[in-house]
Structures are given as structure tokens and as C-alpha cells.
Structure 1
């Protein structure tokens, strides 16, 4: 017997019953970003492997362990994108959009791919919404990104469940001076570090600060603090950001161990975290990456952005019971037909109603069946009302309207009366 085919582990189908919530999140984000002047950019899912090696860093976990990389038929090494920022920068450079210091605000959405151990809120194919701003140097654009994300949490009803963590990584020179002191401190305590931190000490020592091992975290209490190594410019930038957030009323906490997992970050880094989803607590994260454009072959250009995981946001919306009630109903009206010639009349009536009420969610019964069986399907659809079109009604240019979710008498209406009547009811 043939083996039943299944989706790849950690790559999940989004079924029709779930897609309405996804669309709600996507449309809420798109509407919000349009209000801040951000335009959508659509990017390829596959990129040259070299792009991620040069941007994310060859000694990061993503590049070393998690990327889906393969050779195509020309022998070129390609990778399913593990994140969106590198591809976005590549597109901006390739199409000459960063020349002349012109600022750009863009956003994108779509699937990303990392070969991780699948668990709730962390999958091998996951979906992100990314927001990026280019050629803007001050803390004002950092603040705008954080403020607009704060407004999104308010619109989604999540504001009370998330906390903003903030830090500054300083300049590359600041980090180089700090790295020397941190490595010296940790090397003197090498045997007390967990295995991952011992490896990171040799390749990416700042990532040790992000260790989840409690013993390592205890060891870091007395470690040198990055904040003590910030230059005057980096300190001024961070203080400016904090002042703007204070003025906007956005609450935050300073997390001196927040470093992010990608090598290209500098100056501002931030995460929105929640304690409602167990281990998968980060729902949105980002920061400045002023050196990445030059790192990928362009002229120096400041940049800042963030990405949020859609699966985790949707899980948080459901956990907090913030799913809008109207999403539970996908159909407003179900049109039932009975008798010869009524299908043609039903099609004409349905299209007239769609012309008059563009937002009406109307299902016309297809497939025949008895009056009773059609009404069962109408009820199962979740529709609020049924329209009933028999031979006599079709001949007279009328239709019956019957409530399905509450008691009420059936009304007989002329076709011309139906749009206004439904508009009043819905």
C-alpha cells in the first residue's frame, strides 16, 4: 500500500477554519503600517546562501545549524530564508533605492525557515511580519518603530500581556572593547560555563549574555556591564530614545543582557516579551543595524527594524481570548433554492445583492437537495439569515427572509427591498 503523504515535520497547514484569524492579524498590521507611511515590499523566499553568511554571521546558530541550504541545478548554493532583513537590504541595494540618502520605510510578510526542534510557538516553517526603515540616523525612528508596535498591541488587545525590554549594544568599537573584558572574565571561569556558552566564548562571546542556563546567568551577575563601555554618542542616542518613549507613555524595562541573536545589530536593541506563552516568550524583536548595508556591499546607510512572529501572536490572541467575535461567523446570509428554474434566479439575485452590498458574506446553496437538507446546511454555515427562493417567489420577483439565530417570522420581500433590509439587520 502507498504510504499516506504528510506535511514535513514542523511545517504546518493553515486550514480554512483558522485562516480568518490570520487574515485579521495581517489586515490589522497592514492598516496600521499604512497609517505610519510604510509601504509593502515582496521578497523571494529563496536567496543566495552567501547573503545570510555575510549578514547573520557564519558562527551563529542559524547559519551553522538551522538553515535549509541546497545546491540548485546550476550548482549554486541557495537557502530558504531564515529571516527577512538580509533579503530586504539586498533588494534595496539591488534596485538602487538607498542612494542619495533618501529615506525608505517598508514592511514585508511571509514564511521563514529554520531547522529547529518543533514545539508550540516554534516551527520549522514560521511566518513573520518585518518592518524596516533606511537612511534615518536618530533615535526618533527607533522610537517610532517601538511606538507603532505598542499601538498594534493596543489594537489587538494584547497591551497588558507584553513588556518592552530595551538595551543599547553601542558601536562596533564599544562592543570590541567590552568583548575583551567579558572574554577575560568568562575565561577565568570557563569550567563553570555550560557547554553552549563555552562554545560561544570562542565564536560569539556576547551571546553568552543570552544564555538560558541558570548557572551561567548567576555567573554573569558580577560580569562587566556593556553599559559601562558605551561611547558618548551611543549613550546620547540611547538617552534620546528613552526620552521619546517616556514622552509617548510607552513603558519599558532596561535589560542589560539583551543582545539579540544576529550579528548585525548595534546601538538600539529591543524585544517585546510575554509570560503567557511559556518558554516562547518573545513576540517581537529588533533594533538598529547601521553596518549591514555596507557589509552587504553598499555605501554606509543607517537602518533599523523589527520582526514579529505571527504564530506566537496568534497563539497569544487565542490564549488571552482576544479573538474578535465576528471571526467566528464566516457567513452572513445563506440562499436556499427549491424548484425548477430557481437556480438561475438565485444567481441573478445573489449578484445583485453583492453589487449593492460589497461586504456581504453570501453563500448560494449548490448541489441540490431537499428543502430540509438545505436548511440544515444553512444552519451549519453559521449564517444569521436564510433567503428562501422557491418557484412562486422567483416568478413574483420576491424572496423570503428568515432569521436563523433568533426567533422571528419569515418576511417576504421584493428583490429591490432586500439590500436595504439586510443593511439594517447586519
Structure 2
């Protein structure tokens, strides 16, 4: 028996921490995981899962209108925010229970309390109890970044947005990333007046320029207002409970809620990392090597706290790789090439591989194929919204190095197509595949 209380102590029961815990336990390790909020982490509790449920709810706004063109006598419908909010939270609670059950089934000790690092192989719980572990894994995720300016305390973040007492009639959203654009689409479909405020001049930095320009065009057509190069100056609360938002170079905006979606930062403050010598980068992320090991040999980290790729499936892969390597005798390194991603905007975006600009810079000679079309459903519904599919090909090898899509079900289609990009298939391989007709996905094998 080990002289330690546990073979592995995990701080944070989010996607990466839960996966690492149960896999380590399945390899025979004695594992404890501490979580000071709710088991499941950002994704399950206050991130991608409840957000996607809101996205589904928002789509009904257009679907109900479109249904009339398909022969359904749909009356004017009223949206009930309270009902959707409560149903979403009930589903979150159900999933939290399943996560807890999974850990219990693998005989992982779950400590519902805050834990900090008290030494290279020691943790301290909120009540002062100290426990030892041969290895410590930090999986505390990320936290919404709120810039400091007068009145910033009146803003909410993606942590609080799922619990709003009532639907805001007017909402200002700060940021240009995926969270900002996703909630802009959600609130707009629910009937709120939405203004996106961006201190820069670009939305969805890192995505292909044509795709993000198409989303901007469609969003504006849907009635979403955009303010670019407009840093916040202040937010003040009015006597009627509304907010006045002051922006640089813009007229004041009156809103019922201000959502700050200005990115997420690694959640490393106040947990004792620097005191034991764990190196952090300039953003506060834990520096780790390809095996997820920090500068302190007994301390590891996975997920958003390392700020490598802030995606739930990546954190899960890292947690699995860590436990298989350390406790399963199966050395595993995560491959970060060609990781697919999605933006669940209205319409959604799916992307994998290099953008056109990245490919030109890296490869020089490339070929670009696009398909700009209206989905069949949109045609019959009288909706002018157009989808755009884009394929980037290495001219020297014919290998497909990037796929970028915006349109209905783009993420669902992209997941399968990402396998082809990951496998290094060529444009000729796509061309040789018979189209599945009639479908939107067939455009990928018909690009000329």
C-alpha cells in the first residue's frame, strides 16, 4: 500500500477531471476528486449543454413560421422563458446526477468542497483537512473574463445568463467570439433587441473570413445590431432598473441586461499553484508538457486551465490520455491537429483544419472551392438565407487541408467530414464519392 491517502487527487469535476478520475480508477488507482460547485463542470452545468438546449429552443421561432409554408396551420405562438429556463435546469440537474453516479460506480471519492494545493503532494480542503496524494491533477477549467470599467458589476456573464428571472427585452452583448454570437442568436430569436459590442473590428477571430462575414451579414439581416471599435466606458443603473451603456464613439444604449462574453481565462487564482512552484504563463494558464505534466513533477493539469484548446472534447481526451499514460501503462499523447469546432449561431458554423489565409501563409499554392446556395427548406419557406461551404486544398498534393461551413446543420455534417480531413484524404477522394441526394451535405462532393 502507498503511504499516501490517494494515488490521485483531482481538483475540479468538470469534463476533463471526471474522465481522468474514472479512467484512473478503472486502472486500479485510489482516486478522490474535489468540486466546490456542481459535478459536471462548465460544459454540463453552465456552458455548452444548457447553451445548446437554448439554441434548440430558439430555432423553433423560425421553424414555427416556416411550417406554414409546408402546409401546417400554425397559430401565432407565445414564448415562455420561465418554462424553457426551468426545463433546461432540470436537465442539467439530471446530467449532474449521472456524472456523480459514474464516479460512484468507479469507486471515486467525491468531495463536494473547495480544495487547494498545500504542497507538491498535499491538498487542503475548505475545512482545513489536509490529504496527501502521489499525484495531483488540476482540472479547474476556465472562468469568464470581465474587463474592469465603471459599472462592470452590473453586467452578467455566461455563468449567470442561464438563470435570468425574466427575458430581457433589450440586451447588449460584449464580445465578438463564439459565446457572444451564440447568445446574440438565441436572444434575437426569443424576441429581444440585441446589440453586439466589440472593442475590435472582427467577429469570430480564427475562423475563415468568408464564413464569419456571411454570419455577420445574416445576423444583421435578422435584426442584430453591431458596434465595432467600441470599448466600454461605463454602465449605470437607472431608477426603473434598466441600464445605460456608454461606449467610446457611440451614442448611449439603454438595455435591460448586459452580457459580457469577452473570453475566458484559466481558473488558477488562489489555489496554491505558484506557492508550490507550478509555472504559469502570461495568461495564468498552467504550463504543461505533452504528457500534461507541470513544472512540479507530481502535479499535472488538463483542460481549459492549460489554455491549449478550450473545447470540452479536448479536455476529455487530455484526461483520458493522462490516466492511460500514468495509471494504465499506455503512454498516450493527444494530437491537436485538425480539431473540429462549431459555433452554434443562427445559422451555425462548422470548421476543421486551416482557413484560406492560414493555408496561403503556410503552403503558398492552394486551391479553394466554394458552394454558395440556399437550402431546399429555405427555398420553400421563402427564406433568402444562404449557406456557404468552403474547401481548402493543398495544390501540390491535392490534400484537403480545411473545411469551413455555415448553414443549417453545419456542425452535424462537419463532424463526419472532419474524419476525411484528419485522415488526409484528397479532393479526388471527395470527388469519387457518390452524392447523397437531396441533401445539403452532398455539396461537399460536388465542389467544382
TM-score scaled to structure 2, two decimals? 0.24
> Which of the pair is proportionally richer in helix?
1
Point out the structure with max Rg over C-alpha. Answer: 1
Q: Compute the TM-score of the two structures, normalised by the length of structure 1.
A: 0.25
